[in-house]
Amino acid sequence: MLDRSKIVGLPISRIDGPLKVTGQAKYAAEHFEPGMLFGHVALATIAAGRILAIDTRAAERVRGVVKIYTHENRPKAAYRDSKWKDAVALPGHPFRPLENDRVLFDGQPVAFVVAETPEAARDAAGLIHVHYAAETPHTDIMAEQHNSYEPPVARMKQFLPPPPRGDAEAAFAAAPHKISADYVLAGEHHNPMELFAATVRFEDEGRLTIHDKTQGSQNSRDYVCGVFGLDPDKVIVKNDFVGGAFGQALRPKHHLFFAVMASLDLSRSMKVEMTRREMFYLSWRPSCVQTVSLAADDEGYLQAVLHHAVHTTSRHEDYQENVANWSGLAYKCDNVKISYELVKLDLATPGDMRAPGAASGVAALETAMDELACEVGIDPLELRVRNFVHRDQNQDKAITSKALHACYREGAKRFGWSQRSPKPRSMRDGNDLVGWGMAGGIWEAMMSKGEAKVRLSADGNVMVSAAASDIGTGTYTILGQLAAEVFDCPMDAVTVDIGRSDLPKTGVEGGSWTAATTGSAVQAAAKAVVKTLLDHAKSMENSPLAKASEEQVEIAEGRLVLETNHQVGIALADIMAMAGLDAVEEHAKVGPDMLSMMRYAAYSHSAVFVEVKVDEELGVVRVKSAAFRSQRNATAVTEPAHCPFA
């Protein structure tokens, strides 16, 4: 963590902002290649069954149509499931477009048209007639709940429920105050502004350059190389700009498969862009049914926590997210039982979407906490304070930092929580009943493995590079700030080169870990540059820094100086001139510290305060104001906590 800050944390403009607001930032579908072809996907109109026949005659007659692909003529692709598994793949069988005659979900691609123009491709796709043997589809989680099951293969170890503590059922039965309720959440479909699209440039010697709408250029590259058996050195995937993603673009989608498939088959450049409607089928927050039972003693100390969660997955994959485990770690309770199951429906595989799991599970837990507060007869904020913990209760680990107490206090003060009247129906405004409520929020503060390269030139310019993605979260600016901070240079001296698969290795952008991961790699690489400069400086004749150690120096105003006395130092240009260098470049690799992770758990916490007005007669609900304070784990320090009051 930085002990002082010159640039990090300042409210500077996004460095990619001017390109975006002037329309110069090009997104995946905005790249054109001479002689390129365009593809359009025809989607299944049933959710379960078999394709009996596909009539493409009318579609073939459309002027400009080059080729129509169905499961009957699709070019060969990898046989083994493992080749189809991307970095965020799930237990089960990855979806393979046009693999066979099975329809596994609503909106499944059943044909792919390639044409000279996007209009011809779309027109022809609409003329394809598919004859199905339809089966009765199951799409309602409530109706299929009896078929729920525990996932036989865990997506991640930490998604498995923790072992039960104490005897939750007995404690629940014995407690004086209790609530038990079902929380049913409908599925949510994200649909970010940029449509899924891939533009493939077909080059000599089988080289491909692909502009893809993805949260990870290297994930897309590895996926197409696995599926089509391509040499990773001959494929470059670019995602310089990503028009929103929210998790939907973590896994490669069928547009990428089709664009590369047709490009290879026809030896032509290709573009495939999904329709807005097509986007709605894919990678959604699953519908979820939860039962939360809480019990407390007369003072509001939790006696039992039971949380059972069931959510949707597809026929072919076991999508999993951490829905219910939060209930075991967030509050002090000796009797805890958490269970988690899936239900298969004839729908596309759900996917990670904005705090996957927590958004569903913490919502249910916090709602239940409010209901319990009412039952016990104490303030909901006080209930949370009484059950506050400083350790992760599931893993019995210390938490790296948790300022939630201060967050509660500050939020309550700004909101005026002490003025709340606890009695139901006691606050009114005209026709409206007024309610004040609050909740806590929690999310993992994650870091993953990442690499970055930093280059400092003799003229003072800085180049930062990594295969990171900026999905609108400010990654360009954050990485630039971190380098500028180390080199004490203005932001306009820094160039940030990201969004390309041939840059230093970076995982997908998601889970709120990129600033912590790639940011740390940039810091480490920048510090390595400083160390290299110091090594050169030390070897200079009569070097004033001869005895200085790495920890004692820093860069200030273009000079490598002693931290304690900026008068003592050497101009960077002089160091490089002496060493005969135009620039110093260093590469760094970072990852979570496994030893620390064994002892500590890291989370972000938040508190939310809202006022809700309900017109009792008409049922119209208005959320009038919301207070929100968050505090982040120490690894991410580049954006200050904010507190928008409506």
Partner 1 sequence: MKRFTYTRAETVADAVAALAARPQAQFLAGGTNLVDLMKYDVARPDAIIDINSLPLKEIEELPDGGFRIGALASNSGVAYDARIQARFPLLASAILAGASPQLRNAATTGGNLLQRTRCSYFYDPSTPCNKREPGSGCAAIGGLTRMHAILGASDKCIAVHPSDMCVALAALDATVEVVGPDSARDIAFGDFHRLPGDEPQRDNTLACDELVTGIRLEANHFADHYTYLKLRDRLSYAFALVSVAAAMEIADGRVVDLRIALGGVAHRPWRDPLVEAEYAGAPAEDVTFQRVADRLLLQAKGLGGNDFKIPLARKAIVRALRQAAGGTPQSQTIKAIQ
Which residues contact partner 1 (rule: CB under 8 A)?
A: 45, 119, 122-123, 126, 430-432, 613, 615, 617-620, 622
As measured in angstroms, the least distance from the Cβ of 196 to partner 1 is 18
Nearer to partner 1, 74 or 122 (CB): 122
Using alpha carbons, select from 599, 608, 606, 440 the residue that is nearest to residue 512: 606
| Number of residues assigned to the chain | 646
As measured in angstroms, the least distance from the Cβ of 46 to partner 1 is 9
DSSP 333: -
As measured in angstroms, the least distance from the Cβ of 123 to partner 1 is 4
Distance between CA atoms of residues 639 and 301, nearest Å: 35
As measured in angstroms, the least distance from the Cβ of 78 to partner 1 is 31
By DSSP bridging, strand 37-43 and strand 270-273 are parallel
Using alpha carbons, select from 280, 255, 257, 268 the residue that is nearest to residue 29: 255
As measured in angstroms, the least distance from the Cβ of 241 to partner 1 is 25
Strand runs labelled E in 11-145: 37-43, 49-55, 65-69, 102-103, 109-115, 129-134
Contacts of 23 (CB under 8 A, 6+ apart): none
As measured in angstroms, the least distance from the Cβ of 125 to partner 1 is 9
As measured in angstroms, the least distance from the Cβ of 186 to partner 1 is 12
Distance between CA atoms of residues 585 and 461, nearest Å: 12
Nearer to partner 1, 159 or 280 (CB): 280
Nearer to partner 1, 426 or 431 (CB): 431
As measured in angstroms, the least distance from the Cβ of 347 to partner 1 is 15
Asked if residues 89 and 15 have their Cβ atoms less than 8 Å apart, the reply is: no
As measured in angstroms, the least distance from the Cβ of 432 to partner 1 is 8
Q: SS3 for 437-503, per residue?
A: EEEEEEEECCCCCEEEEEEEECCCCEEEECCCCCCCCCHHHHHHHHHHHHHCCCHHHEEEECCECCC
As measured in angstroms, the least distance from the Cβ of 52 to partner 1 is 17
Nearer to partner 1, 19 or 433 (CB): 433
User: Is residue 561 classed as helix, strand or coil in its secondary structure?
Assistant: strand
As measured in angstroms, the least distance from the Cβ of 95 to partner 1 is 20
Distance between CA atoms of residues 523 and 512, nearest Å: 18
Nearer to partner 1, 605 or 613 (CB): 613
Nearer to partner 1, 75 or 126 (CB): 126
Distance between CA atoms of residues 436 and 420, nearest Å: 7
Nearer to partner 1, 139 or 457 (CB): 139
Both tokens of 381, joined, read 């904020």
Contacts of 313 (CB under 8 A, 6+ apart): 286, 319, 320, 342, 343, 344, 345, 349, 350
As measured in angstroms, the least distance from the Cβ of 49 to partner 1 is 14
Nearer to partner 1, 133 or 620 (CB): 620
Q: How many CA atoms lie within 13 A of 646 on its CB side?
A: 12
DSSP 567: E
Both tokens of 184, joined, read 């049913």
Distance between CA atoms of residues 435 and 424, nearest Å: 8
Nearer to partner 1, 118 or 166 (CB): 118
Distance between CA atoms of residues 429 and 294, nearest Å: 32
Nearer to partner 1, 40 or 178 (CB): 40
Nearer to partner 1, 61 or 538 (CB): 61
Nearer to partner 1, 619 or 644 (CB): 619
Contacts of 512 (CB under 8 A, 6+ apart): 443, 445, 446, 604, 636
Asked if residues 470 and 498 have their Cβ atoms less than 8 Å apart, the reply is: yes
What are the distances in angstroms from CA 484 to CA 9, 456, 479? 12, 10, 9
Nearer to partner 1, 53 or 621 (CB): 621
Nearer to partner 1, 123 or 273 (CB): 123
Distance of CA 477 to the CA centre of its chain: 18
As measured in angstroms, the least distance from the Cβ of 128 to partner 1 is 12
Strand order in the sheet with 235-238: 65-69, 109-115, 37-43, 270-273, 197-202, 208-212, 235-238
φ and ψ of 471, to 5 deg: -95, 25
Distance between CA atoms of residues 268 and 208, nearest Å: 10
Nearer to partner 1, 76 or 276 (CB): 276
As measured in angstroms, the least distance from the Cβ of 252 to partner 1 is 26
Both tokens of 170, joined, read 């007995």
As measured in angstroms, the least distance from the Cβ of 117 to partner 1 is 11
